[in-house]
Chains A and B, each alone.
Chain A
Amino acid sequence: MTFPLECRGVSIAYEAESVLRALDLEVGDEEVLAVLGPSGSGKTTLLYAVAGFVELAGGEISIGGRIVATAHGQDPPEERDVGFVFQHYALWPHLDALDTVAYPLRRRGLDGDGAASQARDLLERMGIAHLAHRKPAELSGGQQQRVGIARALAGRPALYLLDEPTAHLDTPLRVALQEELAEQRQESGAAAVYATHDSGEALAIADRIALLRDGRVVQVGSPEAIYAKPNDVWAARLTGPASILDVEVARAGRRESVLRCDGRTVKVRGAVPDSGRASVLVRPDWAELGGDLPGRVAQVWYRGPYTDYRLETAVGLVEIRRDGPPVARPGERVDWCLRRVWAIPDGAPEES
């Protein structure tokens, strides 16, 4: 089977420092792969390598089944048929929005009028047709990135490369732009690689997520699997709010297990190893207020539709999310219960 994008053993080094190490990845037809990692993990380098902005030290990259880069040679960026959306927009200061979006069209052989009319349609689709004759300096961040997205769409590429496209926008704008981007991409039917450091964003937009750490892919899976079954503590913390509890295993099961917390036995969903003690991950939605385990509220954050509580308990700090406004205040004693756990495979509790 040919993939829109396939990376095999890709290694890249800046000066002497290696940035990507023997990285394997593939993106399926019409699939959005989110590359999730902290800053410095190599996300941008990976996208640059796919686009042809950096050379490989090892491995190979294929786009649409055609090898475009190896350590020995590579196709130039303009022959790779990708659409790139840059983190800092990378709009050309001397061109207005219309000329910017028309640019890739002209490169693909359209004459000036044809390119301009298609560019105008694209600006229309992004809701910024009225800004067609503004230069980047006269556009807000959100408007600039809309132009950047329109430019990437214009070339009708087979593969989109999105480098934290919303990282520098404020929250409401960010959500709006994410939605637009998802919609536009879906319409085009092309595959996409979406680099981000924001787990919420990755979970929301991706068909699959790859976790990147120090230039290595440490886990790949569906958003649900990545959220519910992280490989280690680092991955657990990267992919969302996580409480790591140290519990005693009373009975290990395949789907359900019995744990001993604070002297009481608790039956939970999830498999744990039969090893006496275990480090388990608890997501905020896997525990509830009310029940038979004692705890004390350490902190409370009201977030509108729901409230986050942090409880001090005999097994450690537990984060719990509950709908509605706060029902307990810091310092109060409350009861709670545990519904589900994930025994972290590489379970040594490390602090990252």
Chain B
Amino acid sequence: MAERRIGMSRRFRWSTASVWAAGILLVLLVLVPLFELFRGAIGEGWATAGDSLAGSGGVVVNTLGTGAGATVLAVLAGTAAAFITERVRVPARNWLRFGVLLPLVIPPFVSALSWTQAYGPGGLSDDALGIALPGLFGGAGVVAVIAVNAAPLVYLIVGAGLATRVAPDLERAARASGSTAWEAFREVTLPLLRPALLGAAALAFVVAVNSFGIPALLGLPAGFGTMTTRIYQDLARSSAPAAFTRVLVLAAALVVVTVTVVTVADRRFGLARTVVRTAGPVGGVATPGRKSWWPALGLWVYVAVTALIPLVALVLGSLTRAVGLSPVPANWTLANFREALAGSYGAALGRSLALAAVAATLVVLLGGLAASLVRRRAGRPIGTAAILTFAVPGSALAVAVLLAYGPWLRDTLMIILVAYLAKFWALGHRSIAGSTDAIPPDLYRAARGSGAGPATALGTVIVPLLRPAITVAWAVVFLFAFHELTMSALLYGPGSETLAVVILNLRQLGDVTVTSAMAVILVVLVLVAFVPVVVIRRIAGEASP
């Protein structure tokens, strides 16, 4: 009996320590800054805050409208894509899935850049056919490009919902009971999919409202501002006290909106569970027989128009000698790339790489260690907190971090790193914790039963099983940190510009060719970093039945 008590008390201390570690990190990185933010926002009284918000009514309406519009479009596109790849027997299913997911690995502001070069005035379509997309600069363009970027998230969640909530046998049972395909869809598929659809909509809305790069590049030139771009303009370009109050109030309001949406969605639809599944949808139906070409063709056209053609336009732009020239081989040059890699631009690229690598390593060490030690029950509140952290808009988090740690770290790379850790800790923690949860507790028990102590059991059984998850977590954090723009744009100082910031600033000064080259470099590096993720997912997919 005595021996058994000792064992239990030791296990208790292990988990308590890790919960404390995770908790303290959360407090320092997120809660302290957010507390400062809210204290600042209502520091001059609710009335002042209210006035400030009312004075920004235009951008608030723009933000919510953009969010609603982009959500509707993203849900429609993502759901249709999920049904086509998961429920229709399409040729080259895996390539199609990859195509649909492509925008996930393209930084949103690069999407905006590439759309302007594909469909904007002087862009590819203008050059080839004399057609430029009207409204690309302005609200409509912002909504469209945000929707394109959010659609893959909807696709992942709905696809996972189709696989896990709507087993094909449930639809078959309806058909065998006498339902037509449409009746089975309406009475079985749709009701079962509703939580996934609403959860996906909530997530798309949050992504849209938090979006900064796209409205900065497509909205601002046309005078269309959102809350995030107003924060950026006020913070960067104005030193008036009223402007600073407005920054705090807008940031706090953003936090309230997004955290409310995510909390409700998490409670109602288990968002924490669905979002974790970053892998492609699994368990598609292999229906033997002839392949259906038409749905696949439609989806390919969508992928081409929304992602492939803009990327091609971006690459052509980066190769062309000067704006206004046709992107034909005669006008090609590598000078843009040379310039993009030289001097202060090259230094910015190096800074971004280093920042991303350090952030990814720290996130994996801190968040991952905590996740692997924390037992399920203790881990759950922290998991929810982590999801909430990720929902906190980058703009607001950056302002909060600036308030809390600015006095010591202003204009340094360190403050950007702190903001990255606060923002991306959730990503690392969740993907490792998700995989910890998937390890049957009996495996650990079997190791203990075979004579391994807690640490040995962890090191020999749990950590090896987690290795793929740890690698993926590192790569994912690296990806997000590497192309991060929103927070860097608010926190950078002289000498601490990241690559994304340089692209934004240069583009706003009117440069097209060199910024295109930088964006191409960024995308290529992101794709390279994405390779281990794909490889590991594929191996993991083959290992599980």
Q: Report which A residues bind B (CB closer than 8 A).
A: 12-15, 19, 48, 51-57, 76-78, 80, 82-84, 86, 88, 90-94, 103-104, 107-108, 151-152, 154-155, 161
Contact = CB atoms under 8 A, between A and B. Distances in A.
Interface string B134-161: 0000000000000000000000000000
Contacts of B542: none
B286 interface: yes
Interface of B: 165, 167-170, 172-181, 183, 187-188, 191-192, 286-290
A151 B173 contact: yes
A152 B174 CA distance: 11
A90 B188 CA distance: 11
Contact of B172 (A12, A53, A108): A53
Contacts of A90: 167, 169-170, 172-173
A151 B192 contact: no
B171 to A, nearest CB: 9
A299 to B, nearest CB: 29
A22 to B, nearest CB: 15
Given A15-B286, A107-B179, A94 B192 contact: yes
B195 to A, nearest CB: 10
A249 to B, nearest CB: 47
Contact of B169 (A56, A88, A152, A161): A88
A78 B179 contact: yes
Contact of A54 (B165, B177, B287): B287
A78 B289 CA distance: 19
B289 A94 contact: no
A104 B174 CA distance: 8
A151 B191 contact: no
A88 B187 CA distance: 20
Instruction: Count chain A CB atoms within 10 A of each CB in B173, B188, B289 and give the residue with the most.
Output: B173
B286 A107 contact: no
Contacts of B187: 103
A60 B183 CA distance: 27
B88 to A, nearest CB: 13
B177 A104 contact: yes
Nearest to B286: A14
Contacts of A151: 173, 177
A13 B288 contact: yes
B197 to A, nearest CB: 14
Contacts of A77: 172, 175-176
A78 B288 contact: no
Contacts of A78: 175-180
B175 A92 contact: no
A54 B180 contact: no
6 contacts: A13-B288, A78-B177, A78-B178, A78-B179, A107-B177, A107-B183
A57 B288 CA distance: 8
A54 B177 CA distance: 16
Given A14-B286, A14-B288, A55-B290, A107 B169 contact: no
Contact of A92 (B170, B176, B178, B180): B170
Given A78-B179, A78-B180, A104-B178, A92 B173 contact: yes
| 6 nearest CB pairs, A to B | A55-B289, A107-B178, A104-B177, A77-B175, A90-B169, A84-B176
B191 A54 contact: no
A92 B170 CA distance: 6
A324 B445 CA distance: 41
A80 B179 CA distance: 11
Given A84-B173, A90-B167, A91-B173, 6 more contacts: A12-B288, A51-B175, A55-B290, A86-B173, A103-B177, A107-B177
